Structure 1
Amino acid sequence: MRFNKLDLNLLVALDALLTELNISRAAEKIHLSQSAMSNALARLRDYFDDELLIQVGRRMEATPRAEVLRDAVNDVLRRIEGSIAAKPAFVPQESQREFRISVSDFSLNVLIPRVIARAHAEGPQIRFALMPQVQDPTRSLDRAEVDLLVLPQEFCTPDHPAEEVFRERHVCVVWRDSPLAKGKLTLERYMEAGHVVMVPPGANASSVEAWMANKLGFERRVEITSFSFASCVALVQGTDRIATVHGRLARKLATQLPVVLKESPLPLAEMHQMMQWHRYRTNDPGIEWLRHVFLESAREMDKKAA
């Protein structure tokens, strides 16, 4: 099929090329041979009168024209996928679908095991690809590289629908033999201490806890940064440092580590943990089922904690 003399099948190849920035990986992604993908790239270059991908050292980079095309092409393909590719019904017991979910290690520790167990009970052949969150995870959602994001409300994009899964408060964790473990953790003691802070991979990235603290105007003395929340709890051992982390995660790890939990002296707001999906997949029966599994798993988690 052609539109304005362009073979529309080439849009699928272009989307793969601009996502992977590698001819071999793009060919593998859409099940073409490398020579067929090279031929598709040659035809795309001829149609757009632009190189689209150029070799820079050992890697390929998109040209400015290709960057302009990237989101437009992806949006068209996602719209088609959301409109006609989804099956009219989703039967968990019969499905072998794989769901791609982007989560932090906080959600991975406290909620996802319940999600996996409930999903397995309803659809034992359903598979999950759990993906780490890096800077701007909503970019993966825009490009439909993930089916669901689980992240704080502050980091959700307004371009796609979202729903609250549960709420969480932050607590402080200190080593049980630290002077900070004795007495009340005042704001003065908190600000005088060194801190262990989670920093997501990627430039200028931040955790919601750090974002809230900065918004309130508190500049802590950060002495250790880590890429996971769980490690922050472990890293206060043997030190006089403080980690400010999610209450559920802290209580879980406190049963395994020599740490003490303290109320945070910072007036941090309650965190709203959300799930977000692509706007073109709102009526996807599989995504609807998955959202229900998340909500029921969160309710079960809160019931057990009560």
Structure 2
Amino acid sequence: MRFNKLDLNLLVALDMLLIEASISRAAERLHMSQSAMSNALGRLRDYFDDELLVQVGRRMELTPRAEVLKDTVRDVLLRIDSSVAAKPEFLPAKSDREFRIFVSDFTLATLIPHVLARAHAQGPDIRFSLLPQVLEPTRSLDRAEVDLVVMPSEYCTSSHPTEALFSERFQCVLWRDSRLAQGTLSMERYMAAGHVVTMPPATNASSLEDWLFKRHGLQRRVDVTSFSFASSPALVVGTERVATIHSRLAQQAARHLPIVVREVPMALAEMSQVMQWHRYRTRDPGIEWLRRVFHDAVRDMDAADSVLLRT
């Protein structure tokens, strides 16, 4: 099929070439031979009267025209996929669909096990690719390279819909044999201590609890920074340091590490954890099912936490 003399089948090849900036990787992802992809690139160059991809050293880079086309082509294909190619229903028991989800290691350690258990019970062949939020998550969401992003509401983009999943408060973890763990953790002792702070690996991210502290105009002494929320409790063991972390992680860690959990000696706003998906996929039956699974998994997580707190 052609539109303005352009073979529309070439748009799929163009999209993948612009994403991968590589003929071989684009061909592999579309299950084409390299020669067929090279031929498609040649035809695209003729149509746009532009090189689109140029060799720079050992890699290929997009031309300015290609950079302009990149988001436009992806948007067109996504609209087609969501409105024309989307299936009218999603049957999890008969599906082997793979869902790509951006999550932090906090979510991975607390909520995702319940998500996977719920999903497996309904669709044992459904697959999940759980991706770290190393790159700008909202950028990947804009390009529909992921199906779902789970993160604090403060980091979400206004361009796509969100749903709240749960609220999370913060608590302090201390090595149980430290002087800091003896007696009351006052504001004075807390601020005088060295702190372990998590800096998420996303390129533009900062520590959420650090953002909360800045809201109060407080400056802590940061002794250790880490990229992992889940590792923070272990990093205070054997030290006089404190880590201010998600309450669910603190309670998990207290069951197997020599630490104690204390309340933060100041009022911190709770974190609102949400999920976000591309606006064009709101009516995607698979995404609708996945969102329901996440909400059910939150209830499972809360029920499991309540049982553990009573024991």
| TM-score using structure 1 length | 0.95
Deviation at 1:202, TM superposition (A): 4.2
Tell whether 2:25 aligns with 1:25.
Answer: yes
Q: Calculate the aligned-residue CA RMSD, in Å.
A: 1.5
1:61 match: secondary structure? strand
SS at 2:248 equivalent = helix
* Matched ranges for 1:277-296 at <5 A: 277-296=277-296
User: Where does the alignment leave 5 or more consecutive residues of structure 1 unmatched?
Assistant: none
Aligned AA (1:69): L
Report the Cα offset of residue 176 of structure 1.
1.1
Task: Show the counterpart of 1:101.
Answer: 101
* Compared CA separation, residues 135 and 190, structure 1 to 2 (3 A): farther
Q: Deviations over 1:47-84 (max 9, x none)?
A: 22222222222222222221111111111111111112
The CA deviation string for residues 169-199 of structure 1, in whole angstroms up to 9 with x for no partner, is 0111111112211222222222222221111
- Report the equivalent of 1:86: 86
- Name the count of aligned residue pairs: 306
Is the Cα contact below 8 Å between 2:118 and 2:293 reproduced in 1? yes
In the alignment, the residues of structure 2 paired with residue 197 and residue 45 of structure 1 have an alpha-carbon distance, to the nearest angstrom, of: 49
Aligned partner of 1:244 in structure 2 is 244
Matched, 1:207 2:207: yes
Structure 1 partner of 2:40: 40
Q: Distance in 2 between matches of 1:203 and 1:287?
A: 27
Aligned to 2:123: 123
Amino acid at match of 2:195: H
**1:1-306 → structure 2 map (5 Å cutoff):** 1-306=1-306
Letter of the 2:84 partner, please give it.
Answer: I
Deviation at 1:204, TM superposition (A): 3.8
Question: 1:120 Cα shift?
Answer: 0.7
Q: Deviations over 1:71-119 (max 9, x none)?
A: 1111111111111222111111111111111111111111111111111
The one-letter code of the counterpart of 1:253 is A
- Distance in 1 (alpha carbons) for counterparts of 2:33 and 2:216: 54
- Alpha-carbon separation, structure 1, partners of 2:178 and 2:297: 36
Matches of 2:66 and 2:119, distance apart in 1: 40
Percent sequence identity over aligned pairs: 68
Question: In terms of mean alpha carbon deviation, does 199-208 or 147-156 score higher?
Answer: 199-208
* Higher mean displacement: 48-57 or 116-125: 48-57
What code does the residue aligned with 1:53 have? Answer: L
Deviates more, 1:84-93 or 1:59-68: 59-68
Per-residue deviation at 1:266?
4.1
Aligned to 2:309: none
- Output the CA distance in 2 between the equivalents of 1:203 and 1:164: 24
8 Å contact 1:172–1:242 — kept in the other structure?
A: yes
8 Å Cα contact 2:13/2:26 also seen in 1: yes
Q: Deviation at 1:7?
A: 1.6
Report the AA paired with residue 81 of structure 1.
D
